[in-house]
């Protein structure tokens, strides 16, 4: 298949018009959101949705998120709108928050992987919203990467994985949040299944206590059932090893420097994901500054792009752990998964 690429800024009407028709006709469209690029199909058409799984190589027991253009579009997708959902939608939509609740009968099993719940979100991105409106249906969309790879936050990363596998791509430039949406289940006690740009602290300021699923910061135990099927798969794996160092900035940097020198003496090619606070510790070594430890959102914004850009020709990426609070929780969730939970603390 030949993929048509449109620039969402210069070919605005054209691009979303064509892409909307492709969605209605059962095809696949890559589109930008504020979090990461999505790979979309008509969310009410099981056959169209099946093509998403094929294009990504995604296990079909991992359910998808439905994307809507306005709050009232959720009503037909759930059995009812719980009060907590209403409060959260008013506060955080459009935005990087996905809500999981009991699905209605119009949602195909292909979307939910047979679960009785469905995940829905309203993205905060002009092109995404224009596309959903043009399509006139909710758009089912996972991140637009091959299954297992870091999610794409730049069109060049989408092209690496998806060129020739989809009908149309809309290039909206870099994604601002850089990690996927927060996934919150509203079945029973509100529980974060995947942390993201809307933090636990922000959610709690609106609905009170929110739990964080165990699998967010821990590898899933052998006999443990994942609250969210996505959590059981290897994720965000770049083409090289990733090693995380814990401790104060100074401590983490000294662990990294020691391990870097050791690996280098064995002939390995290494690079360090440094921060504004720690860059001076890494003089004479190869590093990139990926953000500011006091602004975890800056680290989130560049993590996936850096994992892709720096892994070519590299054997090991070293990165510092940061406190897992506010947006640091989303950062550590992605970094730990990218490393396969390879963590050094002394």
Write out the residues near ligand TXA by the rule CB under 6 A: 33, 35-36, 38, 62-65, 96, 98, 100, 112, 115, 117-119, 123, 141-143, 180-181, 183, 193-194, 228-230
Residue closer to ligand TXA by CB (options 70, 250) is 70
What's the rounded Cα separation, in Å, for the pair 323 and 310?
Answer: 24
Using the rule CB under 5 A, give the single segment among 78-86, 115-123, 136-144, 303-311 that binds Mg ion.
136-144
Residue closer to Mg ion by CB (options 35, 257) is 35
Residue 143 within binding range of Mg ion, rule CB under 5 A? yes
Q: How far is the CB of 16 from Mg ion (least distance, A)?
A: 23
Q: What, of ligand TXA, Mg ion, none, does residue 244 touch, CB below 5 to 8 Å by kind?
A: none
Q: How far is the CB of 256 from ligand TXA (least distance, A)?
A: 29
Cα distances (angstroms) measured from residue 63 to each of 59, 108, 124, 192: 9, 11, 22, 16
Q: What, of ligand TXA, Mg ion, none, does residue 36 touch, CB below 5 to 8 Å by kind?
A: ligand TXA
* C-alpha 230: how far from chain center: 11
Q: How far is the CB of 144 from Mg ion (least distance, A)?
A: 9
- Sole residue written with tokens 């001076």: 280
What sign does the CA torsion over 323, 329, 330, 333 have? positive
Using the rule CB under 5 A, give the single segment among 8-16, 143-151, 170-178, 249-257 that binds Mg ion.
143-151
Q: What, of ligand TXA, Mg ion, none, does residue 178 touch, CB below 5 to 8 Å by kind?
A: none
- Say if CB 123 and CB 9 are below 8 A apart: no
Residue closer to ligand TXA by CB (options 113, 263) is 113
Q: How far is the CB of 62 from ligand TXA (least distance, A)?
A: 5
Residue closer to ligand TXA by CB (options 100, 272) is 100
Q: What, of ligand TXA, Mg ion, none, does residue 278 touch, CB below 5 to 8 Å by kind?
A: none
What's the rounded Cα separation, in Å, for the pair 194 and 151?
Answer: 14
Residue closer to ligand TXA by CB (options 100, 170) is 100
Residue 33 within binding range of Mg ion, rule CB under 5 A? no
Query: Pick from 99, 59, 101: which is nearest to 80 by CA?
Result: 101
CB atoms within 10 A of CB 25: 11
Q: How far is the CB of 226 from ligand TXA (least distance, A)?
A: 8
Q: What, of ligand TXA, Mg ion, none, does residue 182 touch, CB below 5 to 8 Å by kind?
A: none
The phi and psi torsions of 42 (rounded to 5 degrees) equal -60, 115
Contacts of 300 (CB under 8 A, 6+ apart): 177, 178, 179, 197, 291, 327, 330, 331, 334
For ligand TXA, the nearest residue by Cβ is 230
What's the rounded Cα separation, in Å, for the pair 212 and 195?
Answer: 8
Here the tokens at position 319 are 């990165």
DSSP string, 114-156: T-SEEEEE----HHHHHHHHHHTSPEE--BSS-TTSPPP-SHH
- The footprint of Mg ion (CB under 5 A) covers 142-143
């Amino acid at each position: 298949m030949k993929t048509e690429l449109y620039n969402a800024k210069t070919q605005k009407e054209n691009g979303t018009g064509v892409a909307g028709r492709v969605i209605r006709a059962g095809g696949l469209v890559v589109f930008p959101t504020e979090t990461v690029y999505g790979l979309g199909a008509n969310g009410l058409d099981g056959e169209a949705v099946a093509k998403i799984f094929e294009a990504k190589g995604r296990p079909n027991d991992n359910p998808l998120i439905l994307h809507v253009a306005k709050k009232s579009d959720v009503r037909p997708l759930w059995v009812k709108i719980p009060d907590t959902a209403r409060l959260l939608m008013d506060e955080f939509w459009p935005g990087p928050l996905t809500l999981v609740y009991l699905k209605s009968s119009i949602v195909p099993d292909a979307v939910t992987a047979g679960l009785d719940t469905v995940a829905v979100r309203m993205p905060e991105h002009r092109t995404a919203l224009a596309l959903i409106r043009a399509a006139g249906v909710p758009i089912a969309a996972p991140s637009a990467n091959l299954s297992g790879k870091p999610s794409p936050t730049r069109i060049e990363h989408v092209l690496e994985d998806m060129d020739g596998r989809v009908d149309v791509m809309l290039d909206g430039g870099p994604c601002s949040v850089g990690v996927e949406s927060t996934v919150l289940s509203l079945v029973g006690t509100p529980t974060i299944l995947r942390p993201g740009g809307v933090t636990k602290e922000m959610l709690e300021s609106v609905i009170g206590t929110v739990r964080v699923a165990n699998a967010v910061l821990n590898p899933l135990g052998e006999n443990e059932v994942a609250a969210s099927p996505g959590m059981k798969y290897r994720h965000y794996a770049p083409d090289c090893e990733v090693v995380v160092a814990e401790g104060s900035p100074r401590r983490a940097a000294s662990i990294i420097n020691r391990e870097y020198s050791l690996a280098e003496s064995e002939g390995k090619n290494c690079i360090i994901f440094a921060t504004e606070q720690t860059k001076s510790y890494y003089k004479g070594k190869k590093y990139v500054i990926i953000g500011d430890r006091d602004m975890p959102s800056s680290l989130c914004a560049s993590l996936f792009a850096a994992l892709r850009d720096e892994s070519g020709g590299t054997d090991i990426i070293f990165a510092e752990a940061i406190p897992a609070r506010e947006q640091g929780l989303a950062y550590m969730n992605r970094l730990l998964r990218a490393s396969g939970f390879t963590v050094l603390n002394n």
